[in-house]
Amino acid sequence: MASFSSAISNRAHFLSPKPLPHEPKHKKICSSSQSRNLYLPPHRSSIARLDSIARLERKVASKTKIFASVTDTSVETSPELVKLSKAGVWSVHKFGGTCVGNSERIKNVANIVLTDDSESKLVVVSAMSKVTDMMYDLINKAQSRDESYLSALEAVLEKHRLTALDLLDGDDLGTFLSRLHHDINNLKAMLRAIYIAGHATESFSDFVVGHGELWSAQMLSYWYSKNPFNTIVATGFIASTPQNIPTTLKRDGSDFSAAIMGALFRARQVTIWTDVDGVYSADPRKVSEAVILRTLSYQEAWEMSYFGANVLHPRSIIPVMKYDIPIIIRNIFNLSAPGTKICRPAVTNDVIDEDGQSMESYVKGFATIDNLALVNVEGTGMAGVPGTASAIFGAVKDVGANVIMISQASSEHSVCFAVPEKEVNAVAEALQSRFRQALDAGRLSQVAVIPNCSILATVGQKMASTPGVSATLFNALAKANINVRAIAQGCSEYNITVVVKREDCIRALRAVHSRFYLSRTTIAMGIVGPGLIGATLLDQLRDQAATLKEEFNIDLRVMGITGTRTMLLSDSGINLSRWRELQKQKGEVADMDKFVRHVQGNHFIPNTVLVDCTADTTIAGYYHEWLRKGIHVVTPNKKANSGPLDQYLKLRALQRQSYTHYFYEATVGAGLPIISTLRGLLETGDKILRIEGIFSGTLSYIFNNLVGERTFSEVVAEAKQAGYTEPDPRDDLSGTDVCRKVIILARESGLKLELSDIPVESLVPEPLNACASSEEFMEKLPEFDYDLANKRQVAEDEGDVLRYVGVVDVVNQKGEVKLRRYKKDHPFAQLSGSDNIIAFTTTRYKDQPLIVRGPGAGAQVTAGGVFSDILRLASYLGAPS
């Protein structure tokens, strides 16, 4: 075994040519995993401690340049190391490139370590921000014979020179600049050689790139030397092989370096300083409401990093696991954030972790891998044949492909696995070649490739003990209309892996994250038509939001509001206390296609509902498209359900096929439960015989107040003044609105009627249909009061009252809208205000009809009816009832 002092001198030879004549000699150390790793640059305050280290013994694994496991390092046999590790409580800090990006940040690094109360500290640093990329760029330019490598090298020199001038002074500055220029001259000669050869070996590249860490560590070391205390400054990333050939630990090597140092020094913790607040529950670029995880187990961190989460490289977790050393991920730019602690979880029957969740039922995070393809090998000849799987994956190995996930049917009829898409053609060809005879003989039916796939991994160490996690996961995917192509889960149950279409991946990620991390039911809403009803609905949503979230776990997010001219969009949810103000300030030109795309796809919520608060036929025409896209629809707009019968039938069929919900309770009775009552009767086996009712709040008000000497025109004017009528009262008096409600109920009852099949008695005098304006109509209406006065007098003479009603005669399959007479003790004669009343005569309620009565007009009750439908949708999507 090579001695430790020999390792030091060899390492110094490769990354620090000769000390300059005026430069003091300093000792350095490296760890002794297979690579001589973690060079420690000059630091006067560390010399006393380093002198006590004699040597480290190690095991060398064959055929690998970089050894990735501290478990194979015989640190226990080194009494010197044991003595050093017991000399005090050690902590390790690793600072990434952004943390040492300039002189001010380097000073900040020093101050952060000063606040650590550990007796001894070891600091591992990366190259300054962007420097590693700059060094790789030097090599690429040189071997491409691009002479701009010289100017690029000058840029590297200047970056470090300016930082040193701002950070250091006196002898320290002179010493560092001398070494910097010396190193740059050596690099210039090496790059010239690469330029001439047109090629760089791996060791040459590693030698060049490794200087970035060396320079940042030297600057920090000199800065620390002004304040002597027990701190060692070490380089991350760079190393040498047992043959003393320069190498690096490649990307994320500095984290690995810090983890190894933490294990060797038995540190109480390893802190990885970066530019994010910690480990997120999902990629925040894809899920904007991803949360910072306070704790992760080693296994959870390993699983998440394997599946692409920006946590740590899996190898960085191995060294610390053996000694139960926690790794803490913290943000150097937000010291108030506690970060994420990666450690071994406590073992109890009911552990509550720092996130406030029971670890027995907690899914920690989600990660995705894109650009994959599935390969499915299938055939009856596979079942019970030993060696089939070995042959399949032997062929995959032969082409050097990486298998990400494997899934096999228990019948052994098929094996499915995921590989990077760029490798799938080679894999398919290799399998076709390997199994040519079996395919020709029919023992294998196919080697199928499914491209454009992504993996979604759900990670949580305690999922194994929690029944229903898989059910919750797949339920969330189903409700987001996501098709799962393959599934894999190990018996440890640390993760559940599913394969989905690439275009569905982000939506799937948002769906499961929303289900586990947001309110149990989170719905993205788009409001179409912020008029009287729409605006009232927005106000009701604002007033009830907190209660819904706290008591029912329902989170309704209005992501967009659009009118005919302008629309307001938000990525996280519009502030409903200021939506009118925001619409004026940030509104943009209305574009329905853009509006729908935004509400459905430009955020983290998988469930989408569009609420049409208009009475517009054009908007109703969009419902087919919205439902086809998996968007739920809620509306008080009667146009779709009372339009052409074939379009209505297609709409209902599409709703069932697309597994979406279409709610329209408010189309008939505003806030009254008319549609739901009718459906409840039908679904429980009752038979509808007749539906009769006063469906118009406006006409109810008019006839309820047409008493004494009052005239028809007088009461109509009063209703218009009170806001009960449409701007043009003829829209109410014509009976068309009542006819649409009758058609809706008739179709709900199973009758296939068109609007034109319903005879309607209009209350608009025929001559007044030609009036050019509502003002002209109101001016001439008194001329026709006598017609209705006569009908009213006849009715009163016989003890009756007049009421404007709609009738659905299910038995005779017809309907009508007309002015009818009722006895004064009839329920229809006893209304007040603008109340509606609907009577259901059924097989069960034949002698005494089932009656629903209440306010049937007004913005508050209509918006309330729409709101009720939204909450019904939430219940269908999983909210508690």
pLDDT tens, position by position, 68-91: 223 333 334 355 555 555 656 899
User: Token match 């090298």: residue?
Assistant: 153
* Amino acid residing at 878: G
Q: Which residue has the higher pLDDT, 738 or 856?
A: 738
What's the CATH code, domain 365-517? 3.30.2130.10
What's the CATH code, domain 521-667+867-876? 3.40.50.720
Going by pLDDT thresholds of 50, 70 and 90, the confidence category of residue 60 is very low
Query: Is residue 707 within 8 Å of 849, Cβ to Cβ?
Result: no
Average pLDDT on 302-317 reads 80
Average pLDDT on 392-399 reads 91
Other Cβ atoms less than 10 A from the Cβ of 582: the count is 16
Regarding beta strands 521-528 and 238-240, do their DSSP bridges make them parallel or antiparallel, or are they unpaired? unpaired
71 vs 813: CA distance, rounded Å: 83
pLDDT tens, position by position, 87-104: 568 999 999 899 999 999
Please state, in angstroms and as integers, the Cα–Cα distance from residue 356 to each residue in 184, 227, 351, 553, following that order: 53, 41, 10, 17
pLDDT given for residue 346 in this prediction? 61
Regarding beta strands 405-408 and 340-343, do their DSSP bridges make them parallel or antiparallel, or are they unpaired? unpaired
pLDDT tens, position by position, 326-357: 999 999 999 999 999 999 886 544 434 444 44
Q: What percentage of the chain has pLDDT greater than the value 70?
A: 86
740 vs 149: CA distance, rounded Å: 77
What's the CATH code, domain 674-857? 3.30.360.10
Going by pLDDT thresholds of 50, 70 and 90, the confidence category of residue 324 is very high
317 vs 311: CA distance, rounded Å: 10
Q: Which of 119-128, 172-181, 303-312, 372-381 has the lowest mean pLDDT?
A: 303-312
Please state, in angstroms and as integers, the Cα–Cα distance from residue 718 to each residue in 163, 178, 712, 715, following that order: 81, 95, 10, 5
Q: What percentage of the chain has pLDDT greater than the value 90?
A: 57
User: Highest mean pLDDT: which of 11-15, 56-60, 141-145, 724-728?
Assistant: 141-145
pTM of the model: 0.65
* Amino acid residing at 443: R
* Amino acid residing at 214: L
Query: Is residue 37 within 8 Å of 30, Cβ to Cβ?
Result: yes
Going by pLDDT thresholds of 50, 70 and 90, the confidence category of residue 27 is very low
676 vs 873: CA distance, rounded Å: 13
SS (H, E, C) 130-191: CHHHHHHHHHHHHHCCCCCHHHHHHHHHHHHHHHHHHHCCHHHHHHHHHHHHHHHHHHHHHH
pLDDT tens, position by position, 601-654: 755 677 899 999 999 999 999 999 999 988 999 999 999 999 999 999 999 998
Other Cβ atoms less than 10 A from the Cβ of 595: the count is 21
Domain ranges of the chain: 4-17+24-275, 365-517, 521-667+867-876, 674-857
pLDDT given for residue 73 in this prediction? 34
Going by pLDDT thresholds of 50, 70 and 90, the confidence category of residue 489 is confident
DSSP state of 127: P
What is the set of active-site residues?
741
In b/e form, how buried is each residue of 305-336, taking b as 16+ CB within 10 angstroms? bbbebebbbbbbbbbbbeeebbbbbbbbeeee
* Amino acid residing at 671: G
Other Cβ atoms less than 10 A from the Cβ of 162: the count is 12
pLDDT given for residue 700 in this prediction? 93
Return the CATH class of domain 4-17+24-275: alpha beta
Tell whether the model's pLDDT for residue 200 goes beyond 60.
yes
User: Highest mean pLDDT: which of 275-289, 361-375, 560-574?
Assistant: 560-574
pLDDT given for residue 304 in this prediction? 86
SS (H, E, C) 772-818: CCHHHHHHHHHHHHHHHHHHHHHHHHCCEEEEEEEEEECCCCEEEEE
Going by pLDDT thresholds of 50, 70 and 90, the confidence category of residue 476 is confident
* Backbone torsions φ then ψ of 704, nearest 5 degrees: -70, -25
pLDDT given for residue 578 in this prediction? 94
Average pLDDT on 363-379 reads 91
